[in-house]
Every structure is written in structure tokens, then in C-alpha cells.
Amino acid sequence: MTRQKTILVTGGAGFLGSFLCESLVADGHSVICLDNFHTGAREKIAHLMDEENFELVWHDVTVPVHADVDEIYNLACPASPVHYQSDPVKTVKTNVMGALNALELARHTQAKVFQASTSEIYGDPAVHPQDETYWGNVNSIGPRSCYDEGKRCAETLFYDYHRQYGLEIRVARIFNTYGPRMNADDGRVVSNFVLQALKNEPVTLYGNGMQTRSFCYVDDLIRGIRALMDHEPGVLHPVNLGNPVEFTMRGLADLVLELTGSRSELVFRPLPQDDPRQRRPDITRATEALGWQPEVPLRRGLEKVIDYFDGVLSRRPARVEV
Ligand code: NAD
Ligand code: UDP
């Protein structure tokens, strides 16, 4: 039987954090969910509030935290460009000071600590697909830099704490992940396309729509994160977690239109600055070290997201015409 642990999840009221908390609570661990509700919401964890092994704490990770814990999952940080660019200075602080505070807590409690890093540390990659040995192609002064460079600095801190203080660390480089409980207003491509299609509004393709991403369903990702954290002896290198099946944004739009039966038309909008042209994880390391690979194909995952947003839209109060 696995030992029940006390586990801190920063950003636990966010999209990924809520699924992670759910999975840890289901396994009987004592979970402390720490969040400042910047992009998270109580509704995402409402179903856990009555569980006796779940506790919610309002806290900003830029401020040091004290708790007696066995493990820390550091997820706190807005993930969508719209949100992380709305207050870029705060995004850097959340990434860098949040990582420092998580690592200091780990140092004092001897906890194992996980960092939610990102494919963005590869920037607009000159190597395709991206494996973990690639150092990336990142603009240090652009509008995405607060996130990309913040996450890169957090990785640096994790490896320095490991070398300097012997901390037990895990670092996952997460590629685009989607699923129910994504924020409707975060401007990400999956939520935008699905909501636009469901409302029969124009589907907005940025640029010519030929840029690519690889989309991982949330259940697959959480399984990967848990496998990495639980793997003994620890995997010391960063590990890519994502679905290696690559789609153009045009292909994604066509699939969403097909699955929703929408009457929406496609419209083209300018490509945001520094938007990566292609992105696909090489997941050899995760497969070999953890025996992990994604199982949910995009079509099946999108059906779940469409059901989810359909429910969100039907619960919205009807607008009163005056
Ligand atoms: P999200 O925005 O839904 O969740 C982030 C959570 O962190 C929110 O609940 C937010 O309120 C909280 N938060 C933000 N700043 C905070 C602060 N200063 N103090 C305390 N809490 C704070 O995003 P997500 O998609 O769930 O992403 C979770 C993590 O995974 C992030 O670190 C993100 O960078 C990383 N990641 C996500 C993806 C993805 O596709 N979703 C891809 C790569 C990496
Ligand atoms: N995108 C798009 N239409 C939208 C939202 C996004 O064409 O309504 C594009 C965006 O330019 C990018 C891709 O979809 O090329 C993924 O964007 P997202 O913000 O979801 O993730 P990220 O760029 O961080 O990978």
C-alpha cells in the first residue's frame, strides 16, 4: 500500500491544478491547495471542498509559505498568453519568486518538489520535434518573455537547489494541454474555437493558420505528472509531457467545426508577435523512463471539451433585452 502523504499543490484551483488535486485526494493523500485565484476559481475545486483530506488556502506564491509537507507540486502561474501578458511583471515574480519559495519550503521540510515547466522554454524552436536536449530559441525581451524566461529561470533554480542543497526535484516540460475546466476567457485556441463554434460566431485563425501545436488531453497529462513525481529513483533530467500528434490550427478549426456541426465561418486575424510556428514534443524520455504515453486522441478529447462548454453556455443566464 502507498504511504499517505501531505502534499502542497500551488495553483491548485486552476485548470491543471484542480485535476491534480482531484487525483491526489482520490488516492487518500492530504492535499493543501494553495491559490490566489488570479486565473483559478472556486468552482473548479468545489467538488473537493467537502473531502476531509482537502484544504484550500488563499495565498500568493510570491510570499514565502510555511507548512509541514512531504511533497510540493508547483503549478501556480497563469498559462495563457492573454493572462500572463496582462501583468507581465507579476508573471515574472510568480515564476521566479514562486519557484524560490517552493524550493525554500522543500529545503526546510526535505520535501520532494515538482515544477510545472513548459514547452515555451523552447521558444520558436529551430529543432523539430523538440527533445529535452534542445536549449531553445527564446526572445528575452518580447511580449512572451515574462512567461518563457520566467519558466527558464525557475528551471535554473530547481537544478541549482538540487546541486547546491541536494533537493529531490522533478521538472516536467508541459506541452499544450486542454480539457474541461479550461477558462472560457483565456484566449487559448481550443477554448476560443470551441466557444466560437458553439455560438456560431466566426472562428478566429491567427496568421494563415498553418502554425502547429500538439494537444494533450488533461487526464493523460495528470497521469504523466504523477508518474514522474512517483518515479524512483528520481528522473533528474527535465521530461517533456505532451501528445506528439501535431495539428495545424487550420486543421484544428476544421475538426471543431465538424464535431460541433457549427455554421461558423473562418476569419483570419494577425499572428501575435513571437508566436511559435511549430511545436511537437519528442516524448522518448517519458516513454522510456516512465512507461508513459498519451492515450486520448484529439477527436475524443475535443468531444469532452465541447460537452463541457455546451454545459457552461446553457447555464449562462439569458440576456434580458430592453
Ligand atoms: P491556470 O491559469 O488555469 O492555473 C494557474 C493557477 O495558478 C490558477 O489557479 C491561478 O489562480 C494560480 N496562480 C497564478 N498566480 C498565482 C500566484 N502568484 N499565487 C498563487 N496562485 C497563483 O493554468 P493551467 O493551465 O492550469 O497551468 C498550470 C501550470 O502548468 C502553470 O504553471 C503553467 O505554466 C503550466 N503549463 C500549462 C500548460 C497548459 O497547456 N495548460 C502548458 C505548459 C505549462
Ligand atoms: N490561435 C488562433 N486563434 C485563436 C487563439 C489562438 O489561431 O483564437 C493560435 C495562436 O496564434 C497559436 C496557437 O493558436 O499559434 C496556440 O495558441 P494558444 O494561445 O492556445 O497557445 P500557445 O501559443 O501558448 O501555444
Task: Tell me: pLDDT of 227 over 70.
Answer: yes
Interatomic CA distance for residues 255 and 74, integer angstroms? 33
* 235 band by pLDDT with thresholds 50, 70 and 90: confident
At residue 287, the pLDDT reads: 98
At residue 3, the pLDDT reads: 84
* 236 band by pLDDT with thresholds 50, 70 and 90: confident
Residue 249 belongs to a domain? no
Residue 67 belongs to a domain? yes
> Residue of the nearest CA to atom 18 in ligand 2?
188
Provide mean pLDDT across the span 87-104: 98
Best residue among 44, 58, 77 to mutate for probing ligand 1, ranked by most atoms within 8 Å of CB: 77
**Mean of pLDDT over the chain:** 96
At residue 322, the pLDDT reads: 36
Ligand nearest to the CA of 189: 2
Find the 10 Cα to ligand 1 centroid distance in Å: 9
Percentage of the chain beyond pLDDT 90 is 95
Please determine, for the modelled complex, whether the ipTM score is greater than 0.95.
yes
End-to-end CA distance of the chain: 62
Collect all residues with Cβ–Cβ distance below 8 Å to 222 and sequence separation of at least 6: 16, 19, 20, 23
Residue 306 belongs to a domain? no
Which atom of ligand 2 is nearest to 176's Cα? 25
* C-alpha dist (Å) from residue 262 to 23, 195, 231, 254: 34, 10, 44, 10
18: CATH: 3.40.50.720
Range of the domain at 110: 6-182+215-244+280-295
Task: Tell me: pLDDT of 162 over 50.
Answer: yes
Cβ–Cβ < 8 Å for 30, 229:
no
Task: Tell me: pLDDT of 37 over 70.
Answer: yes
At residue 1, the pLDDT reads: 54
Task: Tell me: pLDDT of 222 over 80.
Answer: yes
* Catalytic residue (one of 147, 161, 178, 217): 147
State pLDDT tens for residues 141-151: 999 999 999 99
Interatomic CA distance for residues 158 and 102, integer angstroms? 10
**What's the structural domain count of the chain?**
1
Interatomic CA distance for residues 277 and 126, integer angstroms? 10
Q: Could you tell me the three cell numbers for 242?
A: 505532451
Interatomic CA distance for residues 79 and 66, integer angstroms? 25
Interatomic CA distance for residues 94 and 214, integer angstroms? 26
Whether omega before 129 lies within 30 degrees of 0, making that bond cis, reads yes
Q: Which residues have C-beta atoms less than 6 Å from ligand 2?
A: 80-81, 176, 188-189, 192, 204-206, 211, 213, 249, 271-272, 275
Residue 87 belongs to a domain? yes
Percentage of the chain beyond pLDDT 70 is 98
Residue 318 belongs to a domain? no
At residue 248, the pLDDT reads: 98
Residue 102 belongs to a domain? yes
308 is catalytic: no
Residue 166 belongs to a domain? yes
Residue 192 belongs to a domain? no
Cβ–Cβ < 8 Å for 275, 211:
yes
State pLDDT tens for residues 164-196: 999 999 999 999 999 999 999 999 999 999 999
Interatomic CA distance for residues 214 and 176, integer angstroms? 6
Collect all residues with Cβ–Cβ distance below 8 Å to 28 and sequence separation of at least 6: 4, 53
**Nearest-CA neighbor of 75 among 32, 35, 116?**
116
Task: Tell me: pLDDT of 317 over 70.
Answer: no
Task: Tell me: pLDDT of 32 over 60.
Answer: yes
Cβ–Cβ < 8 Å for 15, 44:
yes
